[in-house]
């Protein structure tokens, strides 16, 4: 559909000339005075307005046109209104821009210049409309703190819904920064244990000599420094959920005790002899390849299968399509409100750069880059430079032509899948390849099939 353009001018001949000159690219709406212009603005919702300031009943002064401008902006403060007038004094132009006009052109208008200005207006207006729509989606697309409309994330949400109602152990797999703890919390909050404790422990952050005591607790005098009895994280989580992050870092001797707990739901504190019954649901997570640990003997096979009754694989940021922009917008809203910088937007280059970038740090990296851009950016439109992202490279310098080609192929396939709502046939036709070739590329590039 053509974008709507409202032309407001008291001269019928000028309106007709403008209509014929611009009708190829725009759906034209005409008005000759303030009342008709405001009514057309309300009913037609034009993307752009061309407004003459010399309107009746006083066409020799700019006052009626400026009043029309103000009234339109009161209806829609984001409206893109270009002033086209013979009232060419500098003071008039400044007044119009001060009220909220997007641009100002003097009569007689150079048609090529006018078309360029209109094209830019339409681009900005549609971008802002997309952002407003995205803001509405941010409110509606939240799932237990997650944001995401992509196929891979919808599959994750469905897995959470199904597994949360059971007590089965869950193993969450994903790169660093993809939201493994948020997933564990979502499972807890949707379970029958939501009123119980959620106890998280990062197994890689605790020295090997202390991990057993941290998990199982200890009795007074069990070792040097054990001056009093202390409950471990497993015991504290009774009645709720225990989240073991980076579970692959647990040393083998402690894995044996953890396996026994999973089998019998009982523990013994370090230095103790009493068996303690614990009713806790275990959710584990890792960004490591646990199957490699099985083959190398650093992780017990029986423990792996106890933990991985259900596996949830979190997609990396680079495979989540337009979720990148959805999340970036949500983070910008949050951080701009915190910083008192309301009304910020990403410019087109920033949007393109975010889509091209590989996001090795995933959601956490996106969050940090947006926070830094909001704090350090000086204008209303945040750029790729504010995000410290390359504007031309796909996620930094490529070490080979093969990597650059694969990055381009991955981006085109993901965009086509997103555009066609995961329909393989339509996406393949758009890219001019067969379905088998499309599937082969998805497998080669590590792109998950839509659910």
Which pLDDT tens digit goes with each residue over 115-150?
Answer: 888 988 888 887 777 666 655 554 445 577 788 888
pLDDT, residue 184, reads: 95
pLDDT, residue 150, reads: 85
Element spanning 407, H or E = helix 401-419
Q: Strand 310-313 vs strand 170-173: parallel, antiparallel, or unpaired?
A: parallel
Tell me whether residue 427 is in a domain. Answer: yes
Is pLDDT at 395 greater than 50 in this prediction? no
Tell me whether residue 390 is in a domain. Answer: no
Task: Tell me, yes or no, whether 154 and 196 share the same domain.
Answer: yes
- Strand runs labelled E in 100-213: 103-106, 142-143, 146-147, 170-173, 198-202
Tell me 317's DSSP state: G
Pick the closest to residue 99 from 64, 74, 70 (CA basis): 70
Pick the closest to residue 154 from 422, 444, 424 (CA basis): 422
Per-position DSSP letters for 266-296, written without gaps between them: EE--BT----EE---EEEEEESS-HHHHHHH
Indicate the average pLDDT of the chain: 85
CA distance 267 to 113: 78
- Strand runs labelled E in 320-402: 345-346, 381-382
Among candidate residues 313, 340, 365, the one where a domain is terminated = 313
Which pLDDT tens digit goes with each residue over 221-244?
Answer: 777 777 788 899 999 999 999 999
Task: Tell me, yes or no, whether 233 and 265 share the same domain.
Answer: yes
Tokens at 207, concatenated:
């020295």
Among candidate residues 138, 156, 191, the one where a domain is terminated = 138
pLDDT, residue 396, reads: 41
Which pLDDT tens digit goes with each residue over 179-222?
Answer: 999 999 999 999 999 999 999 999 988 888 889 999 998 888 77
CA distance 209 to 197: 26
Which pLDDT tens digit goes with each residue over 292-347?
Answer: 888 888 899 999 999 999 999 999 999 998 889 889 988 988 888 888 887 788 88
CA distance 364 to 143: 18
CA distance 26 to 1: 9
Task: Tell me, yes or no, whether 214 and 275 share the same domain.
Answer: yes
Between 440 and 142, residue with greater pLDDT: 440
What is the average per-residue pLDDT within 398-421? 72
What is the average per-residue pLDDT within 59-69? 89
Number of folded domains that form the chain? 4
Could you identify the residue written with the tokens 């559909």?
1
Is pLDDT at 393 greater than 70 in this prediction? no
Say which range, 57-61, 69-73, 169-173, 304-308, has the weakest mean pLDDT: 57-61
ω before 108 within 30° of 0 (cis)? yes
Residue 176's CATH number: 3.40.50.300
Q: Please report which confidence band the pLDDT of residue 398 belongs to, taking 50, 70 and 90 as the band edges.
A: very low
Is pLDDT at 403 greater than 70 in this prediction? no
Task: Tell me, yes or no, whether 171 and 296 share the same domain.
Answer: yes
Task: Tell me, yes or no, whether 218 and 164 share the same domain.
Answer: yes
Among candidate residues 74, 107, 138, the one where a domain is terminated = 138
Q: Please report which confidence band the pLDDT of residue 48 belongs to, taking 50, 70 and 90 as the band edges.
A: very high
Q: Which domain holds residue 292?
A: 146-313
Say which range, 35-39, 152-156, 388-392, has the weakest mean pLDDT: 388-392
CA distance 235 to 233: 5
pLDDT, residue 109, reads: 83
Task: Tell me, yes or no, whether 187 and 296 share the same domain.
Answer: yes
Tell me whether residue 388 is in a domain. Answer: no
Distance of CA 137 to the CA centre of its chain: 11
CA distance 8 to 37: 6
Which pLDDT tens digit goes with each residue over 246-259?
Answer: 999 899 999 999 99
Which pLDDT tens digit goes with each residue over 96-122?
Answer: 888 888 888 877 888 888 888 898 888
Tell me whether residue 393 is in a domain. Answer: no
What CA–CA distances, in Å, run from 424 to 315, 344, 416, 427?
19, 36, 9, 5
pLDDT, residue 436, reads: 62
What three-state secondary structure class fits 204? helix
Task: Tell me, yes or no, whether 24 and 128 share the same domain.
Answer: yes
What is the average per-residue pLDDT within 88-95? 73
Residue 52's CATH number: 3.40.50.2300
Tell me whether residue 387 is in a domain. Answer: no
Task: Tell me, yes or no, whether 258 and 163 share the same domain.
Answer: yes
Q: How many CB atoms lie within 10 A of CB 340?
A: 6
Element spanning 243, H or E = strand 241-245
Task: Tell me, yes or no, whether 22 and 123 share the same domain.
Answer: yes
CA distance 127 to 346: 9
Say which range, 49-63, 272-286, 424-438, has the weakest mean pLDDT: 424-438
Tell me whether residue 158 is in a domain. Answer: yes
pLDDT above 70 covers a percentage of the chain that reads: 91
């Amino acid at each position: 559909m053509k974008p709507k353009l409202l032309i407001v001018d008291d001269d019928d001949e000028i309106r007709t000339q403008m209509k014929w000159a611009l009708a190829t690219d725009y759906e034209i709406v005409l008005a000759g005075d303030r009342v008709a212009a405001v009514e057309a603005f309300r009913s037609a919702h034009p993307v752009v307005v061309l407004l003459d300031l010399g309107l009746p009943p006083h066409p020799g002064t700019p006052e009626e046109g400026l009043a029309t401008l103000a009234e339109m902006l009161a209806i829609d403060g984001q409206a893109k209104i270009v002033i086209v007038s013979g009232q060419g004094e500098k003071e008039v132009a400044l007044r119009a821009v001060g009220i909220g006009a997007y641009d100002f052109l003097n009569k007689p208008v150079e048609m090529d210049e006018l078309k360029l200005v209109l094209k830019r207006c339409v681009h900005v207006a549609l971008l802002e409309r997309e952002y407003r729509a995205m803001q509405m989606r941010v409110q509606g697309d939240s799932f237990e703190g997650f944001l995401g409309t992509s196929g891979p994330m919808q599959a994750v949400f469905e897995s959470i819904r199904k597994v949360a109602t059971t007590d089965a152990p869950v193993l969450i797999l994903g790169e660093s920064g993809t939201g493994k703890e948020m997933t564990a919390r979502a499972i807890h909050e949707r379970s029958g244990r939501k009123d119980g404790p959620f106890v998280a422990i990062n197994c890689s952050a605790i020295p090997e000599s202390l991990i057993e005591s941290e998990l199982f607790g200890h009795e007074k005098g069990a070792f040097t420094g054990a001056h009093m009895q202390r409950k471990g994280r497993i015991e504290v989580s009774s009645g709720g959920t225990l989240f073991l992050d980076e579970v692959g870092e647990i040393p083998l001797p402690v894995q044996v005790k953890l396996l026994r707990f999973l089998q019998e739901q009982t523990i013994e504190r370090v230095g103790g002899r009493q068996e303690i019954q614990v009713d806790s649901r275990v959710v584990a997570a890792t960004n490591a390849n646990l199957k490699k640990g099985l083959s190398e003997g650093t992780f017990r096979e029986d423990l792996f299968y106890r933990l991985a009754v259900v596996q949830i694989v979190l997609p990396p940021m680079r495979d989540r399509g337009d979720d990148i922009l959805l999340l970036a917008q949500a983070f910008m809203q949050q951080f701009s409100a915190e910083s008192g910088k309301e009304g910020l937007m990403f410019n087109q280059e920033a949007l393109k750069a975010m889509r091209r970038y590989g996001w090795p740090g995933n959601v956490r990296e996106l969050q940090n880059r947006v926070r830094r851009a909001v704090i350090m950016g000086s204008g209303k439109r945040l750029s790729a430079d504010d995000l410290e992202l390359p504007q031309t490279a796909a996620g930094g310098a490529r070490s080979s032509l093969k990597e650059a080609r694969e990055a381009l192929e991955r981006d085109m396939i993901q965009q086509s899948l997103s555009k066609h709502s995961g329909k393989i046939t339509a996406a393949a036709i758009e890219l001019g390849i067969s379905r088998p070739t499309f599937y082969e590329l998805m497998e080669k590039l590590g792109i998950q099939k839509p659910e």
